[in-house]
Amino acid sequence: MPVPQRPLPIVMVVSHAGSHVRALIDAIRQHSLTARLCAVISNCPGSNGLAYAANAGIPAHVLDHRTFPSRVEFDRALDALITLYTPELVALAEFNRILTPEFVNRFRGRLLNVHPSLLPAFRGWHPIEQALAAKAAEHGATVHFVTADVDSGPAVLQARVPVLPDDTVETLTARVREQEQRMLPEAVRWFAEGRLRWVDGQAWLDGQPLREPVRL
């Protein structure tokens, strides 16, 4: 008989995001993802993500960055809180902080982020606004491994959406977010199944280096 897959222990780190937490919880409940969401951490009190976690009986923690004297101090506290749960993967979703190299190196190869643009286009803050200002014909989202260079880690998965003539930040954000909610559980599933790995600074899928991200 086949050996049952052990659930992958995960910690999610978010700011205001709730829908991404819900998407991961739903994937686990529907048995499309063999994982255990150990905790959700947010730097924003009142985060929807914390509410979804608490309602699902998952530990939900506020770690308000405004109470720390520096980025380094905040990241060390975040590291310590995550480490309490001994996760094998840390998933970032709409987390509005730039992490220090010290933190990133600590979790290197176990840190996935979903970014609302088709990286390498529109890195950093406000990518939706950047795309609209540039009159881009299409936009989308990328799941990538996190490195010390912001939004520059190896891309794993991308989904594209058209930019419509009457799009606003709100309407384009909504369509991109729909794709993100499909992408993050899928990438986490690949990692949980051992298909997705970080090897010598590259993303590998099914035993081969990813030369370009998979399109969903």
Catalytic residue (one of 61, 115, 139, 144): 115
DSSP one-letter string for the chain: -PPPPPPEEEEEEESS--HHHHHHHHHHHTTSS-EEEEEEEESSTT-HHHHHHHHTT--EEE--GGGSSSHHHHHHHHHHHHHTT--SEEEEES---PPPHHHHHHTTTSEEEEESS-TTSS-SS-HHHHHHHTT-SEEEEEEEE--SSTT-SPEEEEEEEEPPTT--HHHHHHHHHHHHHHHHHHHHHHHHTT-EEEETTEEEETTEE-SSPEE-
Catalytic residue status for 115: yes
Strand 35-42 vs strand 60-62: parallel, antiparallel, or unpaired?
parallel
Q: Which of 156, 213, 165, 166 lies closest to 189 in space, CA to CA?
A: 156
Query: How many CB atoms lie under 10 A from the CB of residue 132?
Result: 16
Q: Which of 165, 94, 104, 86 lies closest to 132 in space, CA to CA?
A: 165
Q: Catalytic amino acids? A: 115
